[in-house]
């Protein structure tokens, strides 16, 4: 029998805020254990949470970036469970009225565009981190109270690879929006996978298994690639699956039972009485909307469509927003977008990397690249001369035309002068000249090089070729 895999993801991302969700402690990775803590995020008796305005804004912004609705009413709830890393033994989260609902993420997958629907993205507080030593355990509460966005997808994902691409697209969007740094190394993104299989064509969903404890996207992919055959084999061999939570063991590369449905937690959600419901005003939402950015996929598609540049070039401009913005200004009014893109990617980007500087540090404006392309295309200088102009431009700024004038780089297209250089080259190199005459056409390149050398690069290469050919034929 053929099976179909059904996957939904719950992705947790730490928001990029200065301070924690409900107190003023720093939201910072890597500090010594229990140094970014206060009575509030330690859950001391008598403390109360105060919501971080920035986190609320970033949550709404994420909603817009994920094409979600941002409801006019949302609230916080308590999720009750005892665990040493949960300082209050309840987590403040959003249960039935989350800050954003019903959106979608579009992304490229296997040559097409896929859409995964987003059920909701809700705001909650991160918990501390348990550390186990030889004889005892410790809890580091630095992470406790860091604002965390849980992005829940609909079960629209059909394969491990699709899950992987979805996660990368999601990550790019969050980084693009300035919502999260999504640094996997620092545990800023964590995933739970809900996965089931069913006979192809079936409409009912199969038994759902939740997999926890994957902290890389490739881990998610591996876990799914382990879990799907496991589920299919169980069914094929006449067994049945149980609804359960499984843990991914990254070292062993397997999933194993963590707890069954019977032992599932009853989280006893109820409205958080210490916090007022959220009722974002139209003005507040309008302010948030001013921070909406163009999404990576949309940008790529627009660059390809509007400028006619190859996808790979567009991807460079998606990956490096500053460079892409620079390109857009440079190409404005240009007849040769492809050449502008080449100069920006091959020369400018390379120089910036080499000198460890950024677009903001440049001594020239984007219009200089447009001008450079113009004078090359117009035959004023050769592309080799262009390199020299660009070097000068990068070093000291100025305009390409002025540099050409100052350096005397104007290309020589005067037939008399060209003929003299060509005649000299033929006479000085009778061997190669005979080769050409005897039909070895490639030998003409050597002669061309000699002419370029004699003209110190100023000779118009195309005319040099034509002139040499004419002289050698005569």
Partner 1 sequence: MMLHELTLNELTARLAAGEVSSREAMQACLDRIDAVDGSINAFMSIDRDDALGQADAADERLTKGTTHAEQPLLGVPISLKDIFCVKDQPANCSSKILGNFRSPYDGTVVQKLREAGAVIFGRVNMDEFAMGSSTENSAFGPTGNPWDAERVPGGSSGGCAAAVSAQECFGSIGTDTGGSIRQPAALCGCVGIKPTYGRVSRYGVVAFASSLDQVGPMGKTVRDTATLLGAIAGHDPRDSTSVPADVPDYAAGLEGDIKGVKLGLPKEYLGEGIDPEVRAAFEAAVKQYQSLGAEIEEVSLPHAEYGVATYYILATAEASANLARFDGIRYCDRVEGDDPFALYCNTRGAGFGEEVKRRIILGTYVLSSGYYDAYYIRAQKVRTLIKRDFDRALEKVDALITPTVPYTAFKAGEKTGDPLQMYLSDIYTISCNLAGTCGISVPCGFTNDPKLPVGLQLLGKPFGEQELLKIAHAYEQSTPWHNERAAL
Q: Which of 26, 30, 47, 97 is nearest to 277 (CA)?
A: 97
379-408 residues in contact with partner 1 (CB under 8 A) are none
**Among 242, 276, 305, 350, which residue sits at the site for partner 1 (rule: CB under 8 A)?**
276
Among 16, 78, 120, 190, contact with partner 1 (rule: CB under 8 A): 78
* Residues 51 to 70 in contact with partner 1, rule: CB under 8 A: 51
Q: Which segment (88-96, 317-325, 328-336, 367-375) binds partner 1 by CB under 8 A?
A: 88-96
49 lines the binding site for partner 1 (CB under 8 A): yes
Question: Is 84 a binder of partner 1 (CB under 8 A)?
Answer: yes
> Does 47 help bind partner 1 (rule: CB under 8 A)?
yes
Contacts for 123 with CB less than 8 Å, ≥ 6 apart: 15, 21, 55, 56, 59, 76, 93, 94, 98, 99, 147, 148, 149
How open is the CA angle 147-149-152, to the nearest 5 degrees? 160
- End-to-end Cα, the chain, rounded Å: 78
| Strand (E) or helix (H) holding 468 | helix 461-473
Q: Is 127 in the site for partner 1 (CB under 8 A)?
A: no
Of 53-61, 158-166, 274-282, 461-469: span binding partner 1 (CB under 8 A): 274-282
Per CB under 8 A, does 33 bind partner 1?
Answer: no
Query: From CA 4, how far away is CA 303, in angstroms rounded?
Result: 36
CB 17 to partner 1: min, Å: 17
With CB under 8 A as the contact rule, which of the stretches 81-89, 249-257, 321-329, 344-352 interacts with partner 1? 81-89
User: Any contact of residue 82 with partner 1 (CB under 8 A)?
Assistant: yes
For partner 1, the binding residues in 250-269 under the rule CB under 8 A are: 266, 268-269
Closest CA to 365 of 326, 316, 318, 407: 326
Which one of 69, 274, 325, 417 is in contact with partner 1 (CB under 8 A)?
A: 274
**Which CB, 110 or 266, lies closer to partner 1?**
266
By the rule CB under 8 A, 143 interacts with partner 1 = no
By CB under 8 A, residue 97 contacts partner 1:
no
CA distance 105 to 117: 6
CA distance 369 to 473: 40
Q: How far is the CB of 273 from partner 1 (least distance, A)?
A: 4
Cα separation, 27 vs 35, whole angstroms: 11
State the DSSP code for 105. E
The three-state secondary structure class of 190 is strand
Q: Residues 87, 73: contact at Cβ < 8 Å?
A: no
Query: Is residue 45 near partner 1 by the rule CB under 8 A?
Result: yes
> Does residue 44 belong to the site contacting partner 1 (CB under 8 A)?
yes
The CB density around residue 428, as the number of other CB atoms within 10 Å, is 12
Residue 97 Cβ vs partner 1, minimum distance, rounded to whole Å: 14
196: which strand partners? 6
Q: How far is the CB of 125 from partner 1 (least distance, A)?
A: 14
> What does the DSSP assignment read for 54-90?
HHHHHHHHHHHHTT-B--S-B--EEEE---TTSTTSE
Contacts of 97 (CB under 8 A, 6+ apart): 71, 73, 74, 75, 277
The residue within the footprint of partner 1, chosen from 270, 289, 346, 405 (CB under 8 A), is 270
Q: Using CB under 8 A, which of 48, 185, 201, 237 touches partner 1?
A: 48
Quote the least distance from Cβ 145 to partner 1, whole Å.
14
Q: Closer CB to partner 1, residue 44 or residue 202?
A: 44
CB of 49 to partner 1, least distance (A): 7
Q: Residue for token digits 């949550």?
A: 59
Q: Does the protein bind partner 1 through residue 277 (CB under 8 A)?
A: no
Is residue 326 a contact point for partner 1 (CB under 8 A)?
no
Contacting residues toward partner 1, per CB under 8 A: 39, 42-51, 78, 80, 82-84, 87-90, 139, 266, 268-270, 273-276
């Amino acid at each position: 029998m053929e099976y179909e895999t059904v996957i939904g993801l719950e992705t947790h991302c730490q928001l990029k805020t200065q301070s924690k969700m409900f107190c003023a402690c720093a939201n910072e990775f890597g500090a010594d254990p229990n140094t970014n803590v206060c009575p509030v995020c330690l859950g001391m008796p008598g403390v109360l949470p105060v919501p971080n305005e920035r986190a609320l804004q970033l949550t709404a912004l994420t909603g817009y970036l994920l094409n979600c609705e941002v409801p006019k009413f949302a609230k916080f709830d308590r999720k009750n469970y005892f665990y040493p890393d949960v300082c209050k033994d309840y987590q403040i989260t959003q249960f039935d009225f989350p800050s954003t609902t019903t959106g979608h993420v579009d992304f490229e997958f296997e040559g097409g565009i896929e859409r995964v629907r987003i059920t909701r993205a809700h705001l909650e507080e991160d918990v501390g981190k348990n550390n186990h030593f030889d004889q005892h355990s410790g809890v580091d509460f630095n992470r406790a109270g860091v604002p965390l966005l849980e992005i829940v997808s609909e079960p629209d994902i059909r394969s491990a690879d699709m899950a992987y691409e979805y996660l990368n697209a999601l990550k790019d969007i969050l980084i693009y929006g300035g919502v999260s740094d999504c640094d996997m190394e620092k545990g800023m993104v964590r995933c739970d996978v809900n996965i089931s299989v069913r006979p192809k064509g079936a409409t009912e969903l199969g038994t759902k298994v939740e997999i926890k404890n994957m902290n890389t996207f490739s881990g998610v992919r591996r876990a799914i690639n382990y879990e799907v055959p496991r589920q299919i084999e169980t069914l094929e061999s006449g067994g049945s699956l149980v609804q359960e939570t499984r843990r991914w063991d990254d070292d062993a590369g397997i999933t194993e039972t963590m707890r069954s449905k019977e032992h599932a937690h009853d989280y006893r959600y109820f409205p958080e009485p210490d916090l007022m419901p959220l009722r974002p005003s139209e003005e507040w939402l309008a302010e948030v909307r001013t921070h909406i950015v163009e999404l990576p996929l949309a940008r790529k598609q627009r660059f390809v469509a509007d400028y006619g540049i190859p996808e790979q070039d567009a991807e460079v401009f998606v990956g490096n927003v500053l460079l892409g913005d620079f390109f857009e200004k440079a190409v404005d009014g240009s007849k040769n977008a492809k050449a502008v893109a080449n100069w920006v990617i091959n020369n400018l980007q390379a120089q910036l990397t080499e000198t460890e500087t950024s677009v903001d540090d440049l001594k020239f404006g984007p219009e200089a690249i447009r001008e450079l392309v113009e004078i090359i295309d117009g035959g004023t200088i050769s592309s080799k001369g262009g390199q020299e102009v660009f070097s000068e431009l990068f070093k000291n700024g100025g305009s390409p035309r002025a540099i050409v004038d100052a350096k005397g780089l104007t290309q020589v297209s005067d037939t008399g002068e060209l003929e003299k250089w060509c005649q000299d080259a033929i006479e000085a190199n009778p061997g190669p000249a005979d080769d050409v005459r005897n039909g070895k056409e490639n030998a003409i390149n050597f002669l061309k090089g000699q002419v370029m050398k004699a003209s110190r690069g100023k000779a118009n290469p195309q005319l040099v070729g034509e002139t040499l050919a004419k002289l050698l034929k005569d």
